[in-house]
Amino acid sequence: QVQLVESGGGLVQAGGSLRLSCAASGRTVTRNAMGWFRQAPGKDREFVTAISWTNYKVYASDSVKGRFTVSKDNAKNTVFLQMNSLKPEDTAVYYCASDPGEFKRTPSDRSHDYDLWGQGTQVTVSS
Whole-number pLDDT of residue 117: 97
Q: CB–CB of 126/11 below 8 Å?
A: yes
Q: CB–CB of 102/81 below 8 Å?
A: no
pLDDT in tens, the chain (127 residues): 899 999 999 999 999 999 999 999 999 999 999 999 999 999 999 999 999 999 999 999 778 989 999 999 999 999 999 999 999 999 999 999 999 999 999 999 999 999 999 999 999 999 9
Q: Assign 113 to helix, strand or coil.
A: helix
Whole-number pLDDT of residue 65: 86
Contacts of residue 41, Cβ cutoff 8 Å, sequence gap at least 6: none
